[in-house]
A and B are shown apart, each in its own frame.
Chain A
Amino acid sequence: MAKDVAVIGVGQSYFVRGYEGSIRELAFEAFREAMQDAGITTKDIDASVFCSAPEYDKQRSPAGVLAEYLGLIPQPTFYIETVCSSSSTGVKVAYGMIKSGLHDVVVVLGFQKMSEITSAESQERMGRGADIQWESPFGTMMPAYYALYAQAYMAKNGLTHEDLMNVRIKSATYGQINERAVYRKAVTQADFDPNNPNARMAAPVAWPLRVGDACANADGSSCIILANAEKAKAFSKKPVWIIGIGAASEAVNMAARPDFSKGLRAPYIAAQQAYTMAGIKPSDVKVAEVHDCFTIAEIMAYEALGFAPVGEGKQLIREKATYKEGRIPVNVDGGLLSKGHPIGATGGSQIRTIVLQLRGEAGPMQVPGEPDIGLVHNVGGVGLYGNVTIFGR
């Protein structure tokens, strides 16, 4: 296991609806926690990387503005985006900056204030979320794209609506015990019952997906501080090492996608790269965070990551194998479904969860057995960008 680049500090804001502050103040919340966690000062930071999905930002070129507010001037700073996986991409780039010897310590700050724009502006942007030349003219939205995967996958593999509901119920189990989550309520079968007039989650959004199959929008920020081996050993008692990184891309247009019933290809390719680099197999992973922007995405992720054979992802949720006490605990912080999905902050938040798990500091969410290897699966767009990062103690 290569111990070249470590996470020495992690931070995350509360994920909320309608954050009562500006983006710089939101960014500061995660930054303060990560800096206090690392026990360092801004003089120790050599560079910063800021990550978000720009369609929600009013501020043009936010990196410079946020770097100033965090006290990271005059160190170099810049901005990165791969939509929902922006901060995983930021960590990958920061890894390269450190591994190359260019910098010793780099801050990766992911943020999103989805409430920065009005719901009308948001609705207009949602219509441009895909290939604006060849697909948006049909009236596409994110749930419809994941629904295309769900429909093909369910038809071929016998995955049921009940299975999808059980993914949502699992995420809510942990959202309730994660004080940083935006959705803290329990979810029950009655919430998905179409005959129940009070069912909050039964209405179809893009069939076969229902309201309850979709993640919760949120405002939030995350911060990951990376360091080379020398600084990590000097600053940190419990460095968590990046041992594998994979990333891949996919055609934006659905017409150029391979077999929909097999799930997303980019995260699968990313996983292969990350496992090879880390020199481990899927069964070595003790705890994972996967990109459950929709319930179907979690099932597909089980297979992309090799936790279940192709077409058999449903077995993991049926056997409760991805619960905290199960064979491979997944999203025991509530995931995107309950913790929330502040786009640019999501990858960093997933990484924070895994780092806390490997340090044994995840509180009520802690997976038993002192996990030593954890994995983060973070997807941008509808599988447009796939990112898998593996961490070890």
Chain B
Amino acid sequence: MGFEKFGRKSFTGITKTAKFVDFLEEGKVNGTVCKKCGAKYFPPRADCAACFSNEMDWFEMPKKGKLETYTIAYYAPFGFEADCPYTMGVAEFEGGLKLFARLSKDLKPEDINVGMDVSVKPVKYEDGQMSFEIVRA
């Protein structure tokens, strides 16, 4: 339980990584790191595909990243229409970890460029849903 609070609209209620949402409430965007072999994962995983361990710790994603790519969605799937248009993208952080998220509404299309410096932070929607977004560095 708990994961239904993730994102604009969640499709998954139960996952062993549901604590991710609690970290968002604390202001942290966290991935998981394997206690046995040190493999780092974002989005978080409960199991390590490198060594098969299921003992994972949480770590906070780095703050300095670059925008690798983005798109502006003018059409939305069912349940997201009211947000249109919205921007989504992929940011790459120190150490090669990447994340996919929406870009902050503060970033206007004309201000967005491939390769720009970005960071990531949690966001709380008016209905209480928790997510994270790519923001200007």
Give residues in A with beta carbon < 8 Å to B. Answer: 120, 123-124, 126-128, 132-141, 143-144, 147-152, 155-156, 203-209, 253-257, 259-261
B71 engages A207 (CB within 8 Å)? yes
Q: What residue of chain A has the Cβ atom nearest to residue B20's Cβ?
A: A134
Give residues in B with beta carbon < 8 Å to A. Answer: 3, 6-12, 15, 42-43, 68-80, 83, 86, 88-90, 97-102, 109, 114-115, 131
From A133, A148, A155, A257, give the contact of B89 (CB < 8 A). Answer: A148
A138 engages B43 (CB within 8 Å)? no
The interface residues of chain A lying within 8 Å CB-to-CB of B69 are 148-149, 151-152, 155, 260-261
Which of B15, B75, B76 has the most chain A CB within a 10 Å cutoff? B75
A137 engages B98 (CB within 8 Å)? no
A141 engages B6 (CB within 8 Å)? no
B114 engages A253 (CB within 8 Å)? no
Q: What residue of chain B has the Cβ atom nearest to residue A129's Cβ?
A: B77
A138 engages B88 (CB within 8 Å)? yes
A141 engages B99 (CB within 8 Å)? no
Asked if A257 meets B15 with Cβ closer than 8 Å, knowing A127-B79, A155-B114, the reply is: no
The interface residues of chain B lying within 8 Å CB-to-CB of A208 are 71
A124 engages B43 (CB within 8 Å)? no
Q: What residue of chain B has the Cβ atom nearest to residue A156's Cβ?
A: B114
Which of B72, B99, B102 has the most chain A CB within a 10 Å cutoff? B72
Asked if A148 meets B11 with Cβ closer than 8 Å, knowing A138-B131, A139-B80, the reply is: no
B78 engages A137 (CB within 8 Å)? no
A207 engages B80 (CB within 8 Å)? no
B11 engages A253 (CB within 8 Å)? no
Apart from A143-B73, A149-B69, 5 more pairs, CB < 8 Å: A133-B12, A136-B11, A204-B72, A255-B43, A261-B69
A148 engages B70 (CB within 8 Å)? yes
Asked if A138 meets B101 with Cβ closer than 8 Å, knowing A127-B77, A133-B15, the reply is: yes
B68 engages A152 (CB within 8 Å)? yes
The interface residues of chain A lying within 8 Å CB-to-CB of B73 are 139, 141, 143-144, 206
Asked if A138 meets B102 with Cβ closer than 8 Å, knowing A144-B71, A144-B88, A149-B69, the reply is: yes
The interface residues of chain A lying within 8 Å CB-to-CB of B11 are 127-128, 132-133, 136-137
B98 engages A255 (CB within 8 Å)? yes
Asked if A137 meets B71 with Cβ closer than 8 Å, knowing A152-B114, A257-B90, the reply is: no
The interface residues of chain A lying within 8 Å CB-to-CB of B74 are 203-207
The interface residues of chain B lying within 8 Å CB-to-CB of A203 are 74
B68 engages A260 (CB within 8 Å)? yes
Q: B19 CB to closest chain A CB, in angstroms?
A: 14
Q: What residue of chain A has the Cβ atom nearest to residue B99's Cβ?
A: A255
The interface residues of chain B lying within 8 Å CB-to-CB of A149 are 69
